[in-house]
Amino acid sequence: MPKRAARKAEVRRKREFTLHGLPLPKLQELPLAELARILPARARRTLRRGFNAEQQRFLDRMTEAPVGKVVRTHCRDVLVLPRHVGRRVAIHNGHEFKEIEVRPEMIGHYYGEFALTRRFEKHSGPGVGATRSSKFMPLK
């Protein structure tokens, strides 16, 4: 019995985020060229080609905005960089702005992946007359 009580009293430590063995503070210090070496191929290509004017304007707004302020954007093809972690972004999905908080697990993905443009539509059963068996059903 005492062993069980001891197990419950243990505090579970939250695992620290790492990307290829580097913790978040080290990732935030890396220059973009070094960061590109540990990101997937599509992200490496994006960083190698550089950002266009719209993407650069969004990145500048992200760095200038205070940490608590939400930055709204239509630019869905921007990489989530380590320096964006902890910030709030509202991404346009074609209909409305979806507000997200950037987490460390999002690094290397694109903002557009987190604001889906299509919604799942669940249909109910077929209506009266839609099938052969329901053709002669009396209507109430």
- pLDDT tens, 10-58? 777 778 889 989 999 999 999 999 999 999 999 999 999 999 999 999 9
Residue 9, pLDDT score: 59
State pLDDT tens for residues 97-135: 999 999 999 999 999 999 999 988 888 777 776 777 766
Residue 132, pLDDT score: 73
Segments making up each domain of the chain, as ranges: 19-114
**Amino acid at site 58:** F
Q: Give me the residues paired with residue 70 across strands.
A: 88
- The CATH superfamily assigned to 19-114 is Ribosomal protein S19/S15 (3.30.860.10)
Query: Residue 130 is encoded by which pair of tokens?
Result: 């839609």
Residues 68, 72: Cα–Cα separation, whole Å: 13
Local structure of 45: helix, strand or coil:
helix
Whether 1 has a pLDDT exceeding 70, the answer reads no
